[in-house]
Amino acid sequence: MRGKQYIFRSHLVSGDIIFKYDLNGFLREVIFPEKLSLPHYIWIGKYLPYNESIINKMKNTKAAFSIEEIPADLSFNRFWTDYKYKVGKKKMAENIWNRMSLSDRVKALSYIPKYLDHVRRTGHDQAYPTTYLNQRYFDG
C-alpha cells in the first residue's frame, strides 16, 4: 500500500496500534495488538484518526500516548546505512534485526540520529551495530 503509516504507543495498551493511510491521507487500515481491552476499542472508535491531518494533530498533543510515522523503508540495509559504523559481524546484526518487531525496528531507526549526536558530543566510542541492537540502546 502506498501512503503513510503511523505507530501508536501507550503505556496503557500492551502492544502497538498501526494506522495506514492512502496517498490522499485517508485511513485505509488499522492493525490492533492481539490483546486490546473493550475501553481501548471504545476510545479508538471515538477518536479514530480517519484522516492523516487528525493523526498529525494528535502527534502534537501532550497525552499518555505517542504517535510516530513509520519509515517507508524498514529494511536491514537501511539500518546498516544509517548507522554508519560498519564493524563487527554484519550477518549477526541482520539476524537480530530480522527477529525484531516492527515497533522495535521503528524505534531503532528513529533513535540513530540522537544516538550519533550523543556519541559526537560526549566523545564516547560508537557501539558495534550488534551491541546497539542487542543492548537496545534505542530504548534509551
Q: Identify which of 86, 124, 132 has the alpha carbon closest to the alpha carbon of residue 105.
A: 132
Domain edges within the chain: 5-70, 76-139
Residue 140 has pLDDT above 70, yes or no: no
The stretch 108-131 carries a mean pLDDT of 94
pTM to 2 decimal places: 0.69
- Cβ atoms 81, 73 nearer than 8 A: no
Average pLDDT on 74-87 reads: 93
Asked whether the predicted pLDDT for residue 62 surpasses 70, the reply is: yes
64, with CB counted inside 10 A (0-12, 13-18, 19+), is exposed
